[in-house]
Structure 1
Amino acid sequence: MASAVTTTTPPVERAGYGRLLRTPGAWTFLLPGFAARLPFAMLTISIVLLLRPTTGSYGVAGAVAAVTGVSMALFAPRSGKLADRYGQSAVLVPGVLIHTASVTLLTALALGHAPLWSLFAAAVPTGASVPQIGPMVRARWAATLGHGTSGGSGTVGGHNPLMATAAAFESVTDELTFVIGPVLATALSTGLHPACGLLAEAALTLAGGLLFASRRRTAPPTDPAPSDTRGQRASALSIPGVRVLAAAFLGIGSVFGGMQVALTAFTQEHGQPGLNGLLYGVFAAGNMLAGVACGAIAWRTSPQRRLLVSYTALALTCSALWTVHAPLPLGGLGLLVGLCIAPTLITGYTLVEALVPATSRTEAFTWLTGSVALGQAAAVTAAGQLADGFGASAAFTVPLAGTALALVTVVALRGRIAPRAQTTRVFQRRPRVTT
């Protein structure tokens, strides 16, 4: 009788969006989290839309925006580590205050036609203080689902199948912010004043960040770095699997950055610059559709295998981008690239839950998002140089090179992203330590 019950109610078949969103306490951090992460999607384009008319140069505007991206990538992991140790609210509150002040300073310097070096100087704290809301939301999902609040029967071998659904949900949410954010920033900057987009980003960061920080009840447990275990003092990057995933996410960042520049150059070469937004929208739509589908599927293959398959597909689709010379086939290929990105991102974030102790997950997630930002900044620079010197086709080789190098790394070190039994036992002990 017991075996019959077990076979008729397999938990993996229930891991869908409906069950995920019924998780007790989920909405208390989801809605504030969306409001707080939306400004990040407005930051880069708002800087460009402000600095282009005030400096008269797209090159200067892009360089300042790139500095914010690199600064964020370098400082985000430190922010995540502090959040794991002292709590998300303790890091968020001063962080959003610093970010608001830095953005306000950058805006004032731009409007006052200040020297170029001062713009770069202000861009550093602007990027370094970007609130890491996405990683913090993912860490809250891991803490909430890991403690069995969504139903202890759904946890198998220390791993809740809803984590893959949560990773898919967060990927879709990220894409949604990058659909809404740039449109809102553009409307404000072009319809009202060039500074309005950046000022709105600062205001939304302040309001959304403080609201999210106030939701302490769903925050993950902190690690006060006890003296009896040296392993808990180490950075999440000391875990081999996290380093492999960071390399993989650098390649994903190269796709985002390379596509942005290459599509712009491509549409200009064809005398149809208005198609740029449409083509990039098709690319983003593929990402969103794949993200929705990934969360609805009851996966029976291991995350490690899914990552290898999806990354191989991503590299293969990127390898054909430079051969396309017409907008319609490029749109179709861009859709395929987008469809391959979401499964790769989602699986990577899912692996963190199995590889990293609960007290280091926020930092681990920030290493991954920082890797995407760093890869994107490098790709924007490289693709821009190639587009200027050799045309749009050459710029499309940046996603190819980035994903190919990352794929070689992931395949060669695939054993390091396989979840280990000892990691699972750490997760199973964690609730008893925190209660």
Structure 2
Amino acid sequence: MYDFAVLMDWLAFAFRWLHVITAMAWIGASFYFIALDLMLKPADDLPEGATGEEWEVHGGGFYNTVKYNVAPARLPEHLTWHKWQSYWTWLSGAVLLMLVYWGGAEMFLIDYDKIELTAFQAILISGGSLAIGWVLYDFLCKSALGNHPTALMLLLFVILVVMSWGYNQVFTGRAALLHLGAFTATIMTANVFFIIMPNQRIVVKDLKDGRVPDAKYGKIAKLRSTHNNYLTLPVIFLMLSNHYPLSFGTEYAWIIASLVFLLGVLIRHYFNSMHAGKGRPHWTWGASAVIFVAIMWLSAIPMYRDYDYEAEVIVPEPLDYIVASAGFDDVRNTVLGRCSMCHQAEPVWPGLHWPPRAVRLDDDAQIALNARAIYLHAGLSHAMPPGNITGMSDEERRLIVQWYRGLDAEVAELAN
């Protein structure tokens, strides 16, 4: 049974790696084409149907790119489709969501201080919210609002703020920000899969059949691509936020996430304006700095409050048996002696104001909730403590491994 924990951790690593690689490819292509589209310039010798061209130099070569407003009169045999970067980014992210947050719902997804949910209920909310988000967004884009891009973007921002607040009422802070990112990324990939690519296929088919393509398909695709362009930077922040407890370990995490969307819009506005030759709106950097300072202030508010850290933490079912398991007392003593100086409500290690990654290991309940992480990071590997700064011995690591493996055996017995 213990090998399953190792396998799951390596699977999560593999899909996270795939997720990062495909995301870089998608974001890079997206940013490049948006910049290219904005930098296009008219010329006297453009082919029929072309609206602009751009000359570029890279890697010792010169490139001449020509854009056709609808499509060229003759379609070449070779046509490169930019879609798989988007698809694989979403698919790998979906698998990660299942492995980490659905598979570890009791630890990473459910916040028992907010609402008591079963793992199934939490997973249902998680997956259902992503699907509902796309349906609502797509409906708004196809409504009369589609002809008013600015109003549509403002309404989309309102929806994102509401979702940010809603996720924070149900999930842990870490899961809430991650789900807001997944909510937005689902919209972006669905734009590619359900709207942009089908419209491109219609245009290609019309050309092959000798018909003149309708320009409306390009207009629709352009609207969705623009939305994707402005949503990209916030999604990157939200996907990385689980590494920074300052962003999610506060009751104001939903406001922080909302402000991040404004940051992303301001930054993209600067670069889009620059690429379009409309000048460099430097005021956007000043506004971004103000918003970032506001985010920093919101994240630091908990530092100036007094909390009752002695309040009892209840171990949720079905993890209460861990505290009573064989070997738990030895592991508790090891964790309290080697880990809790950093991983407690008020860390005593110099320079730490919060426990790293918001993981507490200062009582039985928290140790039980983090059993698998303790086994992987301090028992099976030497990842923790960092540099073995607290001097955890090989014997103590052996006790952790022995305890967890025996614990898994108990789980298997209970399951039968």
| TM-score for both structures, normalised by structure 1 | 0.30
Taking CA–CA contacts closer than 8 Å with sequence separation of 6 or more, which of the two structures ends up with the larger relative contact order? 1
The answer to which structure has the higher strand fraction is: 2
| TM-score for both structures, normalised by structure 2 | 0.31
The answer to which structure has the higher helix fraction is: 1
Q: Whose Rg is larger?
A: 2
